[in-house]
Chain A
Amino acid sequence: MKITHEKLFHKTTLRMLGVIATLLCIPYAQSAPIDKISINGYLSVEYEQHVSGDEEGDANGSFDMDLIDIVLNIQATDKLRIATDFTWEHGAASEDGRGNVAVEYAFAEYSVLGDLAKIRAGKMFTNFGIYNEIHTAKPATLTVKEPQSTNKNNKLGSEIRFYPRWLTGLAVVGNYHSWNYALQVSNGETEDEGSNPYEEDDNSHKAVNGRIRYNPIDALRLGFSFYRDSMEDPDSSERLDINSYGLQVEWENDGGTGLEFEAVTGSENHKSGTNIKRHAYTAMVFQRLGSRYTPYFRYEHLEPDTDTSDDEGSVSILGINVLIDENMYLKFEFDKFSTGDNNEKYEGASFTEFKSSLSIGF
């Protein structure tokens, strides 16, 4: 089993390097000169250590070569763009089966009505909320990690996420004045570890999700997202419906005072009989001090099942983001976790962790 995993890992890495090498050779072909190709990326190194409270988190204190991502864009024609993001996470080393190598997204985008409508096909981030599409892009976020309660609720007590990180399918995206929208149809997610939803759907239902954003004024952006899917219930092999709805508010005034708020509510409807209603929210305030320092405070809350008492989880984060150089940030924060006794992940544990990261965009 290990050999298979290593082979797959090695094969994936070789394929990705092959794709990059091929792309770098493209300038010598007639169809895509070098000025049609953009290379960007980001790197993140983290340190985490348990500070106080119950025995959870990283007691030893660890450095984490979190990730390095290469973002490639090829403007193949005036209307056609190929976009992809390759990631090497946690010091990926295929020989030892360590870390993770992945394609975060790889899609073709064709403009059918200018900026009003562009069609995408491929693997994409799920367009939901504020953070999902930038959850690995640490230079683009103030905090060390994205909110757990609304974005990776399975790490704070939920069994299944409100929506998957990625999906494979079709999308239509566009802008009109102060409006921005995205609509995606995809295979959705699978809870069966043996199958690959980016290759094959394990059921005939297609996931549908979307988001609409509106800027009523320059300083304010409002958003509404939804995600709906039916998948096979891993426990009963019957149908499981996932419905999630999100509301987002982002505001920052000229003085650098900012606010972010996101709420998600939804349900897991198991055909076997169990219906779970759940909701979560996250709220953050920050204040830019000059061009370098941005202290922030964020509160996250998750109610994994409204019919189960004392299962909630919450995180309070106090930290500072320091701009060191162009697109280079240092972040320091204390994360205080508090959970109820019936919380599936932490079972009543309360503890504080120190988190720090160096994030560089290029």
Chain B
Amino acid sequence: MSTNNQTTKTFEHLRIMLTRTFILILILASASLTAQAGQLVANRLVEEDTVSSQMIKSMFLGSISHWQDGKPISLCLVSSNKPAVNAFLKNQVGKNERSFKRHWTRRVFSGDASTMPRSFKNVKKALNYVANKEGAVCFIGEFDGPLPSVTKKLNAAN
């Protein structure tokens, strides 16, 4: 009876350990993915809190140019963090940096789009732009600091 209890306790302990390890792995993997993906920050007046991967792609390719409430979307990127920007463009937008620029150069000069995505050298300037531009959304890469009150993090949904 005592041996049985001991075995049961050991299995229970093992189960809890495995569950905790699994949860820890999930959290770490999630944190790692978030860090790799970087952050999308939008102006506080943007109604959407979550956008799909398809929406992100369409926005950054210009095939969706307005939010659901009809406000024009203004795009920007923080260019200082090249690896994060390149990973974002490749994984989320499906372009390398040069083909992304070429895509937008063609769109603006042909009359299809009004302006190219703004490129900022640091996060502070990008956040200032997002804070002051209604409808703005910016990929700022990895950023741990507090966001200005007139901006918000835009969550990406699959």
State the CA gap A83–B65 with chains docked (Å).
15
1/0 per position for A43-67, CB-CB distance to B under 8 A? Answer: 0000000000000000000000000
User: Is A31 in contact with chain B by the CB < 8 A criterion?
Assistant: no
| Interfacial chain B residues near A256, Cβ < 8 Å | 96, 98
Question: What are the residues of chain A within 8 A of B97 when measuring CB–CB?
Answer: 291
Residues 71 to 87 of chain A near chain B (Cβ within 8 Å): 71, 73, 75, 78-79, 81, 83, 85
The answer on a CB contact under 8 Å between B70 and A79 is yes
Nearest residue in B to A118 (C-beta to C-beta)? B65
Pairwise interchain contact B94-A218, C-beta atoms closer than 8 A: yes
The answer to whether A111 touches B116 (Cβ under 8 A) is: no
Interface assignment of B66: CB less than 8 Å from any CB of chain A: yes
A38 interface contact, C-beta 8 A? yes
A102-150 contacts to B (CB < 8 Å) = 105, 107, 111, 114-115, 124-125, 133-134, 136-137, 139-140
Interface residue count on the B side (C-beta < 8 Å)? 29
Whether the Cβ atoms of A134 and B110 lie closer than 8 Å is yes
Q: Which label, helix, strand, loop or mixed, suits the secondary structure of the A interface?
A: strand
Given A35-B133, A78-B71, A115-B64, A137 and B110 touching (CB < 8 A)? yes
Mask, A201-233, CB within 8 Å of B = 1, is: 000000000000000001100000000000000
Q: Is the CB–CB distance between B111 and A78 below 8 Å? A: no
Separation of A140 and B114 alpha carbons in the complex (Å): 16
- In the complex, how many angstroms separate the beta carbon of A198 from the nearest chain B beta carbon? 15
Question: Is B111 in contact with A40, judged by CB distance below 8 angstroms?
Answer: no
The CA-CA distance from A124 to B110 in the complex, in Å, is 9
Q: How far is the CA of A115 from the CA of B110 in the complex (A)?
A: 17
Q: Digit string of B79-121 for contact with A (CB within 8 Å is 1, else 0)?
A: 0000000000010001111110110011011111011100000
Q: Report A6-64 residues with CB < 8 Å from chain B CB.
A: 35, 38, 40, 42
User: Known pairs A42-B109, A323-B98. 10 more at Cβ < 8 A?
Assistant: A71-B109, A79-B70, A115-B63, A133-B106, A140-B105, A140-B106, A219-B94, A256-B96, A256-B98, A327-B105
- 27 contacting pairs across A/B (C-beta < 8 A): A40-B108, A40-B115, A42-B109, A71-B108, A73-B108, A75-B114, A78-B66, A78-B71, A78-B72, A114-B70, A124-B111, A125-B110, A133-B110, A133-B111, A133-B112, A134-B106, A137-B109, A140-B102, A140-B110, A175-B58, A175-B64, A177-B58, A180-B63, A219-B94, A252-B99, A256-B96, A361-B105
B binding-site residues for A, Cβ under 8 Å: 54, 58, 63-66, 70-72, 90, 94-99, 101-102, 105-106, 108-112, 114-116, 133
